[in-house]
Amino acid sequence: MKQQVFNPYLPSWEYVPDGEPHVFGDRVYVYGSHDAFGAPIFCVNDYICWSAPVNDLSDWRYEGVIYRKTQDPGNPFGIRSLYAPDVTQGPDGRYYLYYAFDFLGEFGVAVCDTPAGKYEFYGKVHHKDGKVWGKKSGEQFPFDPGVLTDDDGRVWLYSGFATKVPFVASRWHNLRNDGGVVMELEPDMVTIKQEPKVIFPIQGKEGAFPHAFFEASSIRKVDGKYCFVYSSEYNHDLCYAISDRPDGGFRYGGVLVDLGDLYLDGNTDESHANNYLGNTHGGMLNIGDDWYIFYHRQTNRSSYARQACAEKLVRTPDGGFKQAEVTSCGLNGGPLKGKGTYEARIACNLWAKGHETGRVDGSNPKKRLAAHPYFTQTGKDREGNGDQYIANMRDGATAGYKYFAYDGTETEAAVRMRGAGTGEMQFSDTPDFTRILAKIPVTLAGVELTASAPFKTEAGVKPLYIRYEGSGAVDFVSFTIA
Residue 92 CB partners (closer than 8 Å, separation 6+): 187
Q: List the strands of the sheet with 107-112, edge to edge.
A: 82-89, 95-101, 107-112, 120-124
Could you tell me where the DSSP H helices lie in 272-314?
none
According to DSSP, residue 173 is labeled H
Question: Containing H/E element for 285?
Answer: strand 284-287
Q: Identify the active-site residue in 139, 215, 233, 424.
A: 215
Q: Of 313, 310, 324, whose CA–CA distance to 289 is shortest?
A: 313
Phi, psi of 204 (to 5 degrees): 95, -10
Beta-bridged to residue 313, according to DSSP, are 291
Amino acid at 405: A
Residues 6+ apart with CB under 8 A from 436: 426, 427, 428
Q: Is 176 helix (H, G, I), strand (E, B) or coil?
A: strand
235 neighbors 218 (Cβ within 8 angstroms): no
- Rounded CA separation 177/87 (Å): 24
What span, in angstroms and rounded, lies between the C-alpha atoms of 402 and 23? Answer: 27
Cα separation, 173 vs 167, whole angstroms: 10
Q: Give the whole-angstrom CA distance, residue 32 versus residue 159.
A: 16
- Catalytic one among 14, 18, 86, 258? 18
In single-letter form, the type of residue at position 14 comes to E
Q: Does 458 qualify as catalytic in the annotation? A: no
Contact 281, 6 (CB under 8 A): no
Half-sphere exposure of 244 (CA within 13 A, CB side): 0
* CA gap 478, 343 in Å, rounded: 4
Any catalytic annotation for residue 195? no
Catalytic positions are 18, 215
